[in-house]
Amino acid sequence: MEPKIFKTALLNNRGPSVMSAVNEGLEATVADLGALLDAGEGAVVTLVAGETRLAAHRAVLGARSPVFAATFRHDTAEARRGKVVIRDVEGPVLRQLLVYCYTGEAPQLAGVAPQLLTAADKYGLTALKGRCEQQLVAQLDVHNAAAAAVLAVRHSCPGLVESAVAFIREHSHRVMASQGWADAVLNSPCEVIEIHRLLADLHQESSEPTTQDSEPPAATPPEVAHGGTPAAAVPPPTDRISRVRNLSAKEKSSRLLQAAKDGALEDLRALLAVGADTGFRDRYGWRALHYSAYRGDVQAVRSLLNSGAEVDARTLLRATPLHLAAVNNHAAVVAALAASGADVDARAAAGLTPLHDAAAHGNAEAATALLRVGANKGARAHNGLTPLHAALVNNKQQLIDILK
């Protein structure tokens, strides 16, 4: 059968010779299994990845992988045909996967670790998945950190998640200005939202000294929309005002930010009534208006705007409140912000507009609201992609129809 894995590639991965009989036995086992794989004799299954076909033994695959074991144990089409087609895996990756199944070694992780991790997760090869994680942690840099974090979230790799998120936090400006981050935002929006959540959680747990711009600890923006309907401003109860009137300016502003995070409308209004600063920010540059827009709290958004909140305020990722409303499909907030003069084509990190965000997430209501107030559906991000491209990449058919 062809092509075959050369025995030398397998034997080169044995540990150094030792005098221990146990280790000698293990080394001999590796060599024997390597020879068995190279010979192909008695193989009863063929693994196929594209043009690559490799002979293997059911017993070896089943002993390593619970997924292969289940495949061969039951009357599946693969078991009957003696052929397993492995999709989304390239030939070199399949070779490394098979090398590991026979020898317990993964000789060339540096170039294929992301793809091999995906395959290892698919086939339940826990130890190999762990080695791939270690390799990816070792090679983290500004350009691949976003992709590593997306991969870690998608395949539940806690060690890699922790390392990648910590790296992104430490090098946030450079990572988020990279092409890798732009690609992640467009191609993996759900994972990027989770990365944002983890970044906020990491900040909340940090024991670093804080300054005015980093207090209070950042909280995770709620992911559940709280829609509201525009209403006339209602004066907050006198007792609420009296409880916060004598607080320091810093404490008032800090509580305003927290009220926006929590969706506590009456507290927010009371704090605005006593002069809380709408420009107060947490470490990630989020202001009260960002959190209220993210939640979809239309009445809070209106109250903040009426109190002088900056409609196009930027987070550290250059996101405006309009971007955050688009991400969570809050059409009413989009309309309220636009009516107050928000830049409907504002550019966040990687040159993304609110319409890019709505398209990538499949948010038809927000996209329609943005187009209604004049958003440019031909706007191009730094990598040249339009909102329509974002919808196509993420297979959001309703948005494709809207943006054509």
Token pair, residue 236, equals 């907050």
Token pair, residue 342, equals 């928000």
Q: What's residue 167's pLDDT?
A: 92
DSSP, residue by residue, 48-81: EETTEEEEE-HHHHHHH-HHHHHHHHTT-HHHHH
Token pair, residue 109, equals 């992780």
pTM for the model stands at 0.53
Q: In angstroms, what CA-CA distances link 393 with 89, 146, 189, 361, 390?
A: 20, 17, 11, 11, 5
| Interior/surface letters 256-286, b for 16+ CB within 10 angstroms, e for the rest | bbbbbbebbbebbbbbbbbebbbebbbbbbb
Q: What's residue 45's pLDDT?
A: 85
- Beta strands 52-56 and 45-49: pairing type? antiparallel
**Helix, strand or coil, per DSSP, at residue 350:** helix
Q: What's residue 159's pLDDT?
A: 86
Q: What's residue 33's pLDDT?
A: 54
* Residues 253-311: tens digit of each pLDDT: 999 999 999 999 999 999 999 999 999 998 778 899 999 999 999 999 999 999 999 99
The angle at the Cα of 349, spanning 345 to 353, to the nearest 5 degrees, equals 20
Q: What's residue 40's pLDDT?
A: 47
* Residues 3-53: tens digit of each pLDDT: 333 333 333 343 443 334 334 444 544 554 555 554 444 457 888 888 888
Question: In the CATH hierarchy, which fold is given to the domain comprising 224-403?
Answer: 1.25.40
Q: What's residue 146's pLDDT?
A: 93
Residue 216 near residue 254, CB atoms below 8 Å: yes
SS3 content of the chain, % helix, strand, coil (to 5): 60, 5, 40
Question: In the CATH hierarchy, which fold is given to the domain comprising 1-122?
Answer: Potassium Channel Kv1.1; Chain A (3.30.710)
Token pair, residue 359, equals 């398209």
Q: What's residue 58's pLDDT?
A: 84
Q: In angstroms, what CA-CA distances link 41 with 4, 35, 72, 235?
A: 12, 10, 19, 84
Q: What's residue 121's pLDDT?
A: 87
Sheet strands (E) in 40-184: 45-49, 52-56, 83-85
DSSP secondary structure code for residue 190 in this structure: H
Residue 325 near residue 293, CB atoms below 8 Å: yes
DSSP, residue by residue, 201-223: HHHHH--S---GGG-S---PPPS
Boundaries of every domain in the chain: 1-122, 224-403
d(CA 173, CA 285): 12
Largest CA distance in the chain: 87
Residue by residue, pLDDT tens for the chain (404 residues) are: 333 333 333 333 434 433 343 344 445 445 545 555 544 444 578 888 888 888 888 888 888 888 888 877 776 777 777 788 887 788 888 888 888 888 887 767 777 889 999 888 888 888 888 889 989 999 999 999 999 999 998 888 888 988 999 899 888 888 888 888 888 887 887 788 778 778 776 655 553 444 344 333 334 443 333 334 344 445 566 778 888 889 999 999 999 999 999 999 999 999 999 999 999 998 778 899 999 999 999 999 999 999 999 999 998 778 899 999 998 899 999 999 999 999 999 998 778 899 998 998 889 999 999 999 999 999 998 778 889 888 887 778 898 999 98
Q: Residue with structure tokens 């969570």?
A: 328
Q: What's residue 372's pLDDT?
A: 94
Q: What's residue 145's pLDDT?
A: 94
